Amino acid sequence: MESLSTPTGCITSSLPEEKWWESDEPVYQFNGFWFRLSYLRGVQQVLEHFKPLATDVILASFPKTGTTWLKSLLYSIINRSSKESLISNHPHELVPSLELQLYKKPQVDTSTTEIVPSTGTRVFSTHIPYQLFTDHSIRSSECKIVYITRNPKDTLNSFWHFVSKSGRETWPLEVAVDKFCDGIVPFGPYYDHVLGYRKESLERPQKVLFVTYEKLQTDTKTSVKKLGEFLGCPFDKEQEVEDIVKSCSIATLKKHEVNKSSDFTRWIELPYNSFFRQGGLGDHKNYMSAQMIKRIDAITLEKFHESGFVYGI
Ligand code: A3P
């Protein structure tokens, strides 16, 4: 595994570099995956310093696959008595990202990462691909991982809308499709990201739960119950499940002032409200041409279906 540390401290000088859109910030390839420079330091710090506790829950995802939704669900399932927290806190504040929030700074603020809440369970999120973790981190820990994935076309469509919220140059959809198909997007390639966590979920189902955005949409109640069981906190009242489903729905979350805010977050140069757009299935059809869809489907067929994962078309 390639290390990011260099004697000069210039972590990117030896890494392949590519533009993923016309912004001034390229992405750098590190151990087969692409990262923006502003996140690379955080990724490095997590890989080198994060020591999970056996009681930790890690929400892992590729960007735009339903991270925010799953954050609200995991938080609510684990902290049953504090559902009101979602009214005044953005889900990303309740479940912080390891590399984008907690370990982003040059000096890691261990006071934040060492606090164990009264429930005994710390919940963190990460977009770091499973392949990058060494045997001394989340791989060997008894911690639990919940991975969420989403149809590649809806993921890219959501990513494309999200980037356009940054207010910088536009990212033409044609370019976005090109880059996505070449795997050159932050935390990409998408397909390798998904397959890394999927493999682990098949080999160690008690450790990694693999969830799809589509299943969560079409049967939220069953998915919430399954999450509760996996996390060792099953539900005994149907009403509790229904309450969580409702309080974590995009319609409910969108109504809270904190989630409506157009203020920019401290950890990513985008407004709080950009994490809640439409939240449905198949919106890519409203933007992508038949040719774009065909191109992505061909890659999905090759990468997913031919490896036995029939998903995403
Ligand atoms: P769309 O852009 O397709 O609407 P992430 O949280 O990983 O950044 O993913 C963002 C996507 O999840 C966006 O998809 C967003 O609208 C959707 N989303 C956010 N909160 C949701 C919720 N509570 N229920 C369903 N989808 C949600």
- Considering only residues 225 and 107, tell me which one the structure prediction assigns the higher pLDDT: 225
Ligand 1 center–CA 126 separation, angstroms:
16
pLDDT tens for 248-269 read 999 999 999 999 998 888 888 7
State the pLDDT confidence band at 84, using cuts at 50, 70 and 90.
confident
Q: Is 49 a catalytic residue?
A: no
State the pLDDT confidence band at 6, using cuts at 50, 70 and 90.
very low
pLDDT of amino acid 198: 98
The residue among 160, 156, 138 whose CA lies nearest residue 147 is 138
The residue among 25, 2, 22 whose CA lies nearest residue 14 is 2
Please indicate whether residue 300, judged by its CB atom, sits closer than 6 Å to ligand 1.
no
pLDDT of amino acid 7: 41
**Sheet with strand 27-30: strands edge to edge:** 17-18, 27-30, 33-36
pLDDT of amino acid 207: 97
| Mean pLDDT along residues 273-283 | 95
Minimum-distance ligand 1 atom for the alpha carbon of 252: 23
Share of the chain above pLDDT 90, in %: 77
Burial 105-114 (b: 16+ CB within 10 A, else e): eeebeeeebe
Residue 119 has pLDDT above 90, yes or no: no
| Cis peptide upstream of residue 189 (ω within 30 degrees of 0) | yes
Q: Which residue carries 């050159």 as its tokens?
A: 184
| Mean pLDDT along residues 80-108 | 88
pLDDT tens for 8-30 read 455 667 899 998 886 668 999 99
pLDDT tens for 229-244 read 999 999 999 999 999 9
**From 276, 281, 283, mutation site for ligand 1 pocket: most ligand atoms within 8 A of C-beta:** 276
Ligand 1 center–CA 275 separation, angstroms:
6
Q: Whole-prediction pTM value?
A: 0.95
pLDDT tens for 29-79 read 999 999 998 889 899 999 999 999 999 999 999 999 999 999 999 999 999
Give the integer Cα–Cα distance in Å for 30 and 25: 16
Active-site annotation holder among 90, 127, 161, 193: 127
Ligand 1 center–CA 155 separation, angstroms:
9
261 with 254: CB under 8 angstroms?
no
Token pair, residue 142, equals: 């008894």
**From 250, 252, 267, mutation site for ligand 1 pocket: most ligand atoms within 8 A of C-beta:** 250
Please indicate whether residue 97, judged by its CB atom, sits closer than 6 Å to ligand 1.
no
Please indicate whether residue 278, judged by its CB atom, sits closer than 6 Å to ligand 1.
yes
Residue 149 has pLDDT above 70, yes or no: yes
Strands 33-36 and 27-30: antiparallel
Token pair, residue 268, equals: 């990513």
| Mean pLDDT along residues 84-101 | 94
State the pLDDT confidence band at 107, using cuts at 50, 70 and 90.
low
Ligand 1 center–CA 208 separation, angstroms:
22
pLDDT of amino acid 9: 52
pLDDT of amino acid 136: 83
Strands 57-61 and 144-149: parallel
